[in-house]
Structure 1
Amino acid sequence: MKVVVSGGGTGGHIYPALALIHHMQAADPAHEFLYIGTENGLESGIVPDAGIDFASVHITGFKRRISFDNVKTLWRFAAAVQKAKKLLKEFNPDVVVGTGGYVCGPVVYAASRLGIPSVIHEQNSVPGLTNKFLARYVQKTAVCFEEAASYFPDEKVVFTGNPRATEVVSADADENILASFGVTTELPIVLIVGGSRGARPINEAVLEAAPGWEGKPFHVLYVTGEVHYEDIRNRLKDQHLPDNVSVIPYVKDMPSLLQHVQAVTTRAGATTLAELTAVGMPSILIPSPYVTNNHQEKNADSLVNAGAAVMIRESELSGAVLTEQLEHLMKPDRRKTMQAAAEAAGTPDAAQRLYAELLKLAEK
């Protein structure tokens, strides 16, 4: 089977796409893939580095306010559709998959004009503009949250979950990963991470709270984000860093690390939540309020309602609030209950579910 995959802009669109490709390559090495992204997006580096053939189209997103830039975007969209048609004709795929980001718009639309079956994958509980637009042109819409289904035609919706969950749950665990961070403890470990670049409000709450964590019955592994590391490390030294708090800048192998911690405090991006539920991880979620349609809070609501997480809104976040929630979360009985709820909310077979939908379309 020949498959075109398109997704870009953020890791939340790219990593599920790569997880799907890796699953399919393992299932059948004869499958062929072409990834279409933008020339300057994250995907232009990440995808070729993963050994996957990559091509690009030039496209920008629409402004949500009235702007002359939107006229330019319409022109770019038309040009990108023509470029995408050329790429699709050359590769001749059996099916096209869009995993989000505005680059999917011209690629999936071009597939519909050429009569190539296509699927869009919506990671969030509230769809973005691109997937809302494309829903009328695709054969299937795969969702990760039941709440997203109402935004799409009922007859097209399939619940698959996020392929990143499959990749995380099947990852080989590095038994030395904690030691590589200088963590040697018998205490349960809670990971605090604000994303690959960190999150300033979470950093400030940790700075306020960390001195008071001395002697607590848990160990905090705190990921600052590389751009914040030196500043945070120096500020914590000035106010005394307890022995049960470890500070690191970045985690390259998150799937492996998740198999060695007992709880996580983090943002509520869709891919992050897929990773957490894949391994049954209790969590404190601090949604970013700076995202479209406040979708992270709605993502978090899904796990909170399932009993798998608690949520602290950024407007309510402080060192005292964070400490209170950590102490509650790290009680063994509470953690065990939330772990079971997180496992129940997970979709560790997500990649297989989406793969099955692609096989059905390719066979028609």
Structure 2
Amino acid sequence: MRVVLAGGGTAGHIEPALALADALRRHDPSIGVTCLGTERGLETRLVPARGYELALVPAVPLPRAITPQLLTVPGRLAGAINAAAGILDRVQADVLVGFGGYVATPAYLGARRRGVPIVVHEANPRPGLANRLGARLTEHVFTGHPDASLPHAEYVGIPLRRDIVALDRLSMGDKARSYFGLESDRPTLLVFGGSQGARALNEAALAAAPALRQAGVQVVHVVGPKNEIIEEPPPGDPQYVVLPYIDRMDLAYAAADFVLCRSGAMTCAELTAVGLPAAYVPLPHGNGEQRLNAAPIVEAGGGIMVDNADLTTEWIIRNVLPILRDPELVVAMSAAASRMGRKDADMVLAQKVLAVVAAGGRR
């Protein structure tokens, strides 16, 4: 069996694809997996690091409005479709699974041209252009959000890495805190803004460092690899650990009692899977999907939410500190977050893909 996965550009597209690849390989190590991507996406680093083949197609961003750039799309898209179809032919693909992003559109159209069965997975409540197109080409549509608006879609959750869903935060807590140079018995806040960081979160949290320390709270703050630190807190006790990037997010989750973060689909899925409550700060740009991602968790009691414009140092002191200083509230919010999590989406989606291949063959 040979599977081609199309999901590139951001970690939100790539990580679910790689989680599915891992699940398929656990089911049958002989399954061949090829990931489609573009040279400008994170997949050029993430896919080879996980041991999977990466095949590149030209990136064709689709404008969202009628502009002169629209006139250049048909020619460039045709070239990308031909490239995707050629890769499907080369690997003799039995199925294409798309997760959205620039690479998914030519992949869906190339698979349609070659008669390769298509499976679509949409992580967000508001699907992007590529997956709205893909959902018109197949009946095999699955979502990571129960309210995603795609035809004949089935909610399965978002495939996550095994090191995340298998994480036992209680048993790993002391080891994880030691890994970051933290003490085992202090309340711990984790701050991160997604794979690239978030300036608003960085500025507000760094400015709150003195108040957090005074309250006995220690912090692991992931600022993002491309973000400049305006003024890093001086060494002190409790620790305020500033890092540009963390490869071991499982340890960061195990070390934390509470999180300050954006509310991308992957972030919400991972935090609920491990049972971590959070203060969610939806990205103020885009179509508002980050607010929709966090809203069910907040309504269930697994977190709180604040607009990006309202996130200040004072807000953190007024709203986050009281939670961290109330262990019983942290436990209750953790349990509420955990009830919203899905830990089996990788295996569920893998079984769906296997069923599509078994029912339809290659063509």
TM-score (normalised: structure 2): 0.91
Q: Distance in 1 between matches of 2:335 and 2:55?
A: 42
Q: Distance in 2 between matches of 1:174 and 1:97?
A: 36
Q: Give the C-alpha shift of residue 243 in structure 1.
A: 2.6
Q: Give the C-alpha shift of residue 333 in structure 1.
A: 2.3
Q: Give the C-alpha shift of residue 5 in structure 1.
A: 0.4
Match of 1:301 in 2: 295
Which of 259, 279, 288 aligns to 1:284? It is: 279
Match of 1:91 in 2: 91
Matched-pair contact (CA < 8 Å) for 1:229–1:248: no
Match of 1:339 in 2: 334
What are the superposed Cα offsets for residues 234-266 of structure 1, whole Å, 9 maximum, x if unpaired?
Answer: xx33xx865353333321110232123221111
Residues 174 and 342 of structure 1: CA distance in aligned 2, closer, same or farther (over 3 Å): closer
Q: Distance in 2 between matches of 1:309 and 1:214?
A: 22
Supply the AA of the counterpart residue of 2:150.
F
SS class of match (2:147): helix
Q: Distance in 1 between matches of 2:39 and 2:103?
A: 10
Q: Distance in 2 between matches of 1:165 and 1:342?
A: 18
Q: Give the C-alpha shift of residue 194 in structure 1.
A: 1.6
Which of 243, 250, 257 aligns to 1:255? It is: 250
> What is the identity percentage for the equivalent residue pairs of Structure 1 and Structure 2?
34
SS class of match (1:264): strand
Q: Give the C-alpha shift of residue 170 in structure 1.
A: 2.3
Matched-pair contact (CA < 8 Å) for 1:142–1:160: yes
Deviates more, 1:178-187 or 1:5-14: 178-187
Match of 2:137 in 1: 137
Matched-pair contact (CA < 8 Å) for 2:277–2:334: yes
* Structure 2 unaligned residues grouped into runs of 5+: none
Q: Distance in 2 between matches of 1:189 and 1:243?
A: 10
Match of 1:31 in 2: 31
Matched-pair contact (CA < 8 Å) for 2:298–2:305: yes
Matched-pair contact (CA < 8 Å) for 1:229–1:249: no
TM-score (normalised: structure 1): 0.91
Deviates more, 1:209-218 or 1:249-258: 209-218
Supply the AA of the counterpart residue of 1:263.
F
Q: CA RMSD in A?
A: 2.0
Q: Distance in 2 between matches of 1:114 and 1:146?
A: 31
Q: Distance in 1 between matches of 2:54 and 2:120?
A: 19
Match of 1:324 in 2: 318
SS class of match (1:158): strand
Deviates more, 1:270-279 or 1:46-55: 46-55
Supply the AA of the counterpart residue of 1:73.
V
Asked whether 1:55 is paired with 2:55, we answer: yes
Q: Give the C-alpha shift of residue 334 in structure 1.
A: 1.8
Aligned counterparts, 1:121-132, within 5 A: 121-132=121-132
Q: Give the C-alpha shift of residue 201 in structure 1.
A: 0.8
Supply the AA of the counterpart residue of 1:215.
Q
Q: Distance in 2 between matches of 1:119 and 1:313?
A: 35
How many residues are paired up? 355
SS class of match (1:135): helix
Aligned counterparts, 1:36-115, within 5 A: 36-115=36-115
SS class of match (1:325): helix
